[in-house]
Structure 1
């Protein structure tokens, strides 16, 4: 009889429970990871709320950390007892993987294959090709793991993935020492942007209407905070941009298209705006091509992270350069998964992390 394990499972819209599944066995080049913690990302929350299409039942999760329990045949570089985080899934052979561009087409093809083979009633992996990390155990190829400092609590290590995504966006922005960055929104991603931008040596202005969140932004290292509903954002940014007439870089971290337009309006000449947040719903915005042309403005998209950025995120967390406590509101055992999802989907909540013991 197969050994069993438990996994947090979304069984219906707005309903999650702990279910039993066969414990996986590592194959050739694979590692068995005993997952210890998994954070509830916005992707997971949208699946729980039914905002995104998802086959049910589904085990979600891509912000996790754990410890290696066993290794399969021909595993040479990962060892039993290693503390690890899982990387994003990359095929490693398509044009984009070879160019180290975070647009793997092989992952998209695997998703299509899975969708075509899925049968009603079967356990479904989440949309997007992520590993299902809200499980006690999972198997993964050894080259898709990053070993982390065992001194890092598992709950903090679980935040590696969002930190790496922010690093990716900041890298794409080419933010430089001495530049002025405006960050729109002091949610979890906004607070992480503050910390990464400060490490780059930038002056950081946080635009956030909520007073408590503005205080969090200051605790994260923001130089200035502004309530855009009480003050004119453009005037404030111009007054704090040291003669630039605006921001060198704007990071839009809120899933509301109107705020992206607002960000466009505070850019300095030759400024760059980064569309960090996904949009639900994806409402088109008005963009002046003439302004892009004459002011040399750049619009930059960003999604996910690569292996280098995942590794750097683990290093920054281990060295204390990233304060993960600022972005974790609750840590709950997997048995309380329904409560965890309800807390995570409550407006104003930062990350909720589940302990997968």
Structure 2
């Protein structure tokens, strides 16, 4: 069938709306008519770093839409179901069972290579294969092929134009708070990088009644959004000679019990660890510098923990419904973070995200 996608023809290129061919869903696949897709920094960072031989390509991994076809082997999903699309996992390997689906042994093959496991592609353009299958969906498209393992059936009362980010960005931030760090009413959580993921973390922490919240960012618009969740805010450019570590310790009564970093910047992570109280824990969520230097004496003598987290250690089949329920109950207020754009305005959405004019752009058909 023919469909329209936001095509990335080369590394770092602008997206262009292009008509392409989409294959029929196989026995283990579903066809989803996409209503909207969240724009995530991962779409852009991967676009900018993959080699040229892995293009042209269709990105998008926060899709939401309506199921139009269901393969013969698919269970639990029916034509007409509304779904949020998330990341893929095999769900049968040892890592999926022991560590969780975010740490699947086949993560790269299922989510990043741009093909099915057999090397075929779901999209074609001008008779040539077109890389897709990004997070098992490539939902910068009017129609996408997805799978039972990464399609979460949701109540039809939810607005499909606003729930796609629950499949990745919102899930990652909230999951890190609720599943990984689990701070309580007597704790202090610091978020470094108040973009969509960081603000989702603050929204979850605010809803869970965490005692002290702090947000560190360079953009005043993001800090204003963080303050809306009751967070004290720190702009490193406005500290008049004081350090971020000193300011965070002041705001948290001696140091943070919990922290998370979305920036991937080595210096920020180092400051985050330094600003922890004894036995504090910092979770790293953003990809960035491959190396960083820490004060090993400080880490050891104070029992500090630095750890990574993929998708907030979430299983989308459980976490997406959980977060939607929390949102409906007013305990995960993230709708305020969303700005919608027609897909034809994807360039403006990217620019607004970079400038801070929009926190979480969502592209709609």
Residue 250 of structure 2: aligned partner: 239
Question: Given that residues 94 and 104 in structure 1 are in contact (C-alpha distance below 8 angstroms), is that contact kept between their aligned partners in structure 2?
Answer: yes
Query: Matches of residues 61-76 of structure 1 in structure 2 within 5 Å?
Result: 61-76=60-75
Q: 2:5–2:141: 8 Å Cα contact kept in structure 1?
A: yes
Alignment match of 1:210 (pick from 214, 219, 232): 219
**Structure 1 residues 297 and 26 mapped into 2: Cα distance closer, same or farther (>3 Å)?**
same
Over 3 Å counting, the alpha-carbon distance change for 1:303 and 1:122 in structure 2 is same
Q: CA deviation at 1:137?
A: 1.4
Equivalent in the alignment of 1:22: 21
Is the counterpart of residue 311 in structure 1 residue 321 in structure 2?
yes
Q: Is residue 9 of structure 1 aligned with residue 7 of structure 2?
A: yes
Conservation of the 8 A alpha-carbon contact between 1:195 and 1:221:
no
How far the C-alpha of 1:313 sits from its partner, in A, is: 2.6
Q: Is 1:135–2:134 an aligned residue pair?
A: no
* Alpha-carbon distance change, 116 to 290 in structure 1, aligned in 2, over 3 angstroms: farther
Question: Deviation digits for residues 3-41 of structure 1, max 9, x if unmatched?
Answer: 311111112332221222234433334322111101111
**Cα shift readout 1:201-223 (whole Å, capped 9, x = no counterpart):** 2121122343332221111332x
Which residue matches 2:31? 32
Please list every run of 5 or more consecutive structure 1 residues that lacks an aligned counterpart in the other structure. Answer: none
Over the residues paired in the alignment, what is the CA RMSD in angstroms? 2.7
- 1:26/1:139 contact within 8 Å kept: yes
In the alignment, what sits opposite 2:336?
Answer: 326
Match of residue 192 from structure 1: 200
Query: In 1, are the aligned partners of 2:38 and 2:63 still within 8 Å (CA)?
Result: yes
> In 2, are the aligned partners of 1:33 and 1:139 still within 8 Å (CA)?
yes
CA distance in 1, matches of 2:113, 2:37: 26
Equivalent position SS for 1:312: helix
Contact 1:167-1:309 within 8 A present in 2 as well = no
| Cα separation, 2, equivalents of 1:16 and 1:258 | 32
Instruction: Give the superposition deviation at 1:94.
Output: 1.3
CA displacement at 1:235 relative to structure 2: 3.5
SS in 1 for 2:129: coil
Distance 2:271 2:73 in 1: 53
The number of equivalent residue pairs is: 346
Per-residue deviation, residues 92-115 of structure 1 (Å, max 9, x unmatched): 121111124221112334566949
Residues 1-357 of structure 1: matches in 2 within 5 Å? Answer: 3-12=1-10, 13-48=12-47, 50-53=48-51, 55-101=54-100, 102-110=102-110, 114=115, 117=119, 122-125=129-132, 129-160=135-166, 161-170=168-177, 171-202=179-210, 203-222=212-231, 224-231=232-239, 232=242, 233-242=244-253, 245-279=254-288, 282=289, 284-304=291-311, 305-307=314-316, 308-329=318-339, 331-346=340-355, 349-355=358-364, 357=365
How far has the Cα of 1:246 moved from its partner? 0.9
Q: Which moved more, 1:19-28 or 1:193-202?
A: 19-28
Q: 1:106 to 1:163 in 2, by over 3 A?
A: same
CA shift digits 1:53-95 (9 cap, x unpaired)? 3622110010110012232325442222221111310011211
1:350 is displaced (CA, Å) by 2.1
Q: 1:116 to 1:347 in 2, by over 3 A?
A: farther
Kindly report structure 1 stretches of 4+ aligned residues shifted beyond 6 Å.
none
TM-score normalised by L of structure 2:
0.84
Once residues 113 and 205 of structure 1 are traced to their aligned partners in structure 2, the CA distance between those partners, rounded to angstroms, is: 38
The answer (yes or no) to whether the contact 1:24–1:32 under 8 Å persists in 2 is no
Q: 1:301 to 1:75 in 2, by over 3 A?
A: closer
Cα distance in 2 for residues equivalent to 1:264 and 1:106 = 31
Q: Structure 1's 6 and 76: CA in aligned 2 closer, same or farther, altered over 3 A?
A: same
Structure 2 unmatched runs, 5+: none
The C-alpha deviation readout for 1:119-159, integer Å capped at 9, x for no partner, is 99520126x65421112112333343212232222222111
